[in-house]
Amino acid sequence: MTAEQVRITVFDTTLRDGEQSPGCSMNHQEKLRLAHQLDRLGADVIEAGFPIASDGDFEAVKAIAGVIRRPVIAGLARACRPDIERAWEALKDAARPRIHVFLATSDIHLQYKLRITRDQCLAQARDAVRFAKSLCDDVEFSPEDATRTDCDFLCKVLEAVVEAGATTLNIPDTVGFTIPSEFGELISTIRRRVKGIENVTISAHCHNDLGMAVANTMAAIAAGARQVECTINGIGERAGNAALEEIVMAMRVRRDRYPYETGIVGEQLFCASQMLSEITGVPVQPNKAVTGRNAFAHEAGIHQDGVLKNPLTYEIMTPQSVGVPDSKLVLGKHSGRHALNIRCEQLGYQFDRRALDDIYRRFVRLADKIKHVEDHHLLELIRETHKPAASATPLFESMPTAVAAAASVSAQESQRFPLVPQPNAFGLPLPVPTDQHHDQEDYLWGV
């Protein structure tokens, strides 16, 4: 196989790790809606939840497994029988089920959290994987807190679970502690030392506590990892997970250095990002790479001039390649329902006929008053017409593309249509154990 053909499996954990982050819990219908979008996006694996954590999680995993048939559907389980049985119960009707078993391996977790010895940990990991394998062919194992685990012991555990039937070994940087050179070395060491490693897929799962989740993930791929675990908008525990859209676009834009393929449909990235933001009510930070509303906005005159002459002067990727609506197609009073529908879809909304009719009527009235209906007008209108049940929070702001911004809309326009104040991404409340998961032991949380 040449470097050109190396295929990276994209494992999306927005519905599991992402959903665990403060303010990001989703109800059943919202999870299903997002799962459909992840399917359209081309994710290879969707981690749909943690079935033993709550009845709601169980039902969501089961429902997703029942209707989303192309990707692998994974469910998380601690390394014990009841968790694994519950996960399997939720997953067994999936077209392609995967049980994801995890157990902490670092001394600090063994001593203070689990209160077991290394030998007990090794035996528990092996037994759990063996049991999972008796139910499901596709078993992933994660040694939680791998990056702070003694390397010899880590390799020993990995070897034991490979022997017990694990097909994917996920290496989590659970606490966001590692740095790219170190994480790359760890993956290389595992590849060199673990017997049977050539028959399994190595995966990376990075957290962003030091802002290096994506960089660490890329280092892992360069060192031989072939699965990446990531989330839309990088949501996840504490500072979040590696952002799916950033990993994918790094590979596309820098193919010279990262000659790898994924199955991700780039044009669906923006829609996925907006949909998640809408569902959770957590806005995307404006300067967020790839999907933030400023990611393709050019403010400085010299930049605007350059972009108008040739976008390549300041753009390393086009807005269209990540699905940012082409605002050159201006919506006005002569636009039909079809154009309106397409634009709504690009912004992350799908409406049935009746809802669309309603929005269309309002749209025509607005278009009569103002000449051009920009995305942010449309979003205001959608918000007024169609208030999502679970979220009273304003959802997202318009995203001017290079041309729209260069054509001068943003500053004046956004004053005429002031945006409702939104909770800043950095002003979120501290994690409070309030949601349904927390009736379990305090070490439920996963990798």
Contact predicate 228/170, CB 8 Å:
no
Q: Which stretch binds Zn ion (CB under 5 A): 13-21, 73-81, 91-99, 429-437?
A: 13-21
- Nearest-CB residue for Zn ion: 17
Stretch of 9-17, 80-88, 183-191, 305-313 lying at the interface with Zn ion (CB under 5 A):
9-17
Residue with smaller CB distance to Zn ion, 48 or 447: 447
CB of 321 to Zn ion, least distance (A): 28
Q: Does 17 bind Zn ion (CB under 5 A)?
A: yes
User: Minimum CB separation from Zn ion for residue 174, in Å?
Assistant: 6
How far is residue 400 from each of residues 300, 322, 330, measured CA to CA in Å? 14, 14, 12
Residue 306 phi, psi dihedral angles, 5° rounding: -60, -45
Query: Is 73:439 a contact under the CB 8 Å cutoff?
Result: no
* For Zn ion, the closer CB: 125 or 447: 447
Q: Which is nearer to Zn ion, 244 or 447 (CB)?
A: 447
Between 232 and 447, name the residue whose CB sits nearer to Zn ion: 447
Residue 73 or 447 with smaller CB distance to Zn ion? 447
Structure tokens that stand for 443 in this block: 């070490």
Number of other CB atoms surrounding residue 55 within 10 Å: 10
The region of 12-20, 134-142, 344-352, 368-376 touching Zn ion under the rule CB under 5 A is 12-20
Q: Residue 423 has which token pair? A: 């909770």
Instruction: Cite the beta strand spans of 280-413 per DSSP E.
Output: none
Contacting range for Zn ion; rule: CB under 5 A; set: 14-22, 60-68, 300-308, 392-400? 14-22
Rounded distance, CA 324 to CA 245, Å? 13
Nearer to Zn ion, 174 or 274 (CB): 174
- Judged by CB under 5 A, the number of residues near Zn ion is 2
CB 434 to Zn ion: min, Å: 20
CB of 169 to Zn ion, least distance (A): 15
- Minimum CB–partner distance for residue 241 and Zn ion (Å): 6
Half-sphere exposure of 386 (CA within 13 A, CB side): 21
Q: What is the DSSP string of 104-124?
A: E-SHHIIIIII---HHHHHHH
Closer Cβ to Zn ion, 382 or 447, answer by number = 447
Minimum distance, C-beta of residue 197 to Zn ion, in the bound complex (Å): 22
Instruction: Let me know: does 397 contact 419? Beta carbons within 8 Å.
Output: yes
Q: Is residue 140 close enough to count as binding Zn ion by CB under 5 A?
A: no
Separation between Cα atoms, residue 361 and residue 158, nearest integer Å: 60
- Using the minimum distance from each CB to Zn ion, give the nearer residue, 205 or 298: 205
DSSP string, 212-274: -HHHHHHHHHHTT--EEEEBGGG--STT-B-BHHHHHHHHHHTTTT---B----GGGHHHHHH
By CB under 5 A, residue 19 contacts Zn ion: no
- The footprint of Zn ion on residues 360-399 (CB under 5 A) is none
- Between residues 144 and 159, which has the closer beta carbon with respect to Zn ion? 144
Strand partners, 49: 75
What the block records as the tokens of 346 is 């690009």
**Distance in Å, CB of 194 to Zn ion, minimum:** 22
Where do we find the tokens 């749209």?
A: 363
Which residue, among 373, 311, 380, 282, has the nearest Cα to 336 in the 3D structure? 373
Q: Which letter does DSSP use for residue 15 in this model?
A: I
CA distance 237 to 24: 10
Q: Specify the residue, 17 or 145, whose C-beta has the smaller distance to Zn ion.
A: 17
Beta carbon of residue 242, minimum distance to Zn ion (angstroms, whole number): 10
CB of 436 to Zn ion, least distance (A): 19
Least distance in angstroms from the C-beta of 83 to Zn ion? 17
Binding window for Zn ion (CB under 5 A); candidates: 10-18, 97-105, 116-124, 149-157 = 10-18
170 within 8 A of 200, measured Cβ to Cβ: no
Choose the stretch contacting Zn ion; rule: CB under 5 A; options: 17-25, 59-67, 291-299, 392-400: 17-25
Per CB under 5 A, residues contacting Zn ion are 17, 447
